Amino acid sequence: MNKIVFLIQTSDQKGLLADITSYFYTKGFNILHCQQHTDSRAKKYYMRLELDMKDLSCSRGDLKSDFAKFAEPRKLDWSCNFTDNIQRVAIMASKTSHCVYDLIMRQKEEDIRCEIPLMISNHPDLEHIADQFKIPFYYLPVTKETKKQQEQQVLEILQRHHIDLVVMARYMQILTSDFIDPYAGRIINIHHAFLPAFQGANPYLRAYQRGVKMIGATAHYATEDLDQGPIIEQDVYRVNHELTPVGLKKVGKDVERIVLSRAVQAHLEHRVIISGNKTVVFSNEH
């Protein structure tokens, strides 16, 4: 079933649920599912609403325009999404392949619903994967001196292919604000540690040196501050003193795959609301 998904956030106030659902009722919509969350500490209200697209009796532009008039006096921050728009995802990676393979296979199996029209890398190592799945591959090396030019090349490719979401599947580069700003809230990065612990490079080595009993992975929206963006998904796996840094890395790969795929799926299903440097992620259990 094709759906219209509204994501809404605003300051908490009485009557919001009744007010918003009544609006859609008067427009003739069947509300398929409604989720809400109130952050009493921050005095914020969040809502995710699914509508039956068969009830749409006007153009999509008119729906957004009319809701904007409703939302303005109520100070609603909102987005309107249509599930029949299949999102286009660009995978960016460096030399590590496990997250790349996992995303592509989940897309092929329709566990995540999207198109993957291209891969971009600063190394040539993963071109054989792109060839295997007939995905166009762009090799764009980067140095400290050429970073600005390389990022501009990447941006031009993303825009030319009408990319909706960028997934950094172990793309080992820090992006600048010039790159991030046009895709703010639309770049997901996987970090191979349970943030905020072990930010930056070599987290498995540092986890080994610290003698941790759990290792984890974190998927977050990329910002210009390294590993500081809003967290979407995290998970951990218990380990012991017998594992070397190489052993920790092997175990960690599975956690990375799972965490990244969950985050990408949540984003593609319009279940994530970014609020400051945090996220509200609604469940898909319905």
- Angstrom distance (rounded) from CA 286 to CA 33: 8
| 227 belongs to the catalytic site | yes
Q: Which long-range contacts (CB under 8 A, 24 or more apart) does 52-57 make?
A: 52/1, 52/3, 52/4, 53/1, 53/2, 53/3, 53/4, 53/82, 53/83, 53/84, 54/2, 55/27, 55/28, 55/29, 55/30, 56/4, 56/29, 57/27, 57/28
CA angle 214, 219, 224 (to 5 degrees): 120
- Spatial CA neighbour of 165 closest among 263, 62, 72: 263
Check residue 275 and report its DSSP letter: E
Q: What is the DSSP string of 44-85?
A: EEEEEEEEEGGG--S-HHHHHHHHHHHHGGGT-EEEEEETTS
Q: Which of 164, 227, 235, 254 is catalytic?
A: 227
- The strand pair at 44-52 and 31-39 is best described as antiparallel
The structure tokens 């496990």 sit at 98
SS3 251: helix
Known catalytic residues?
227
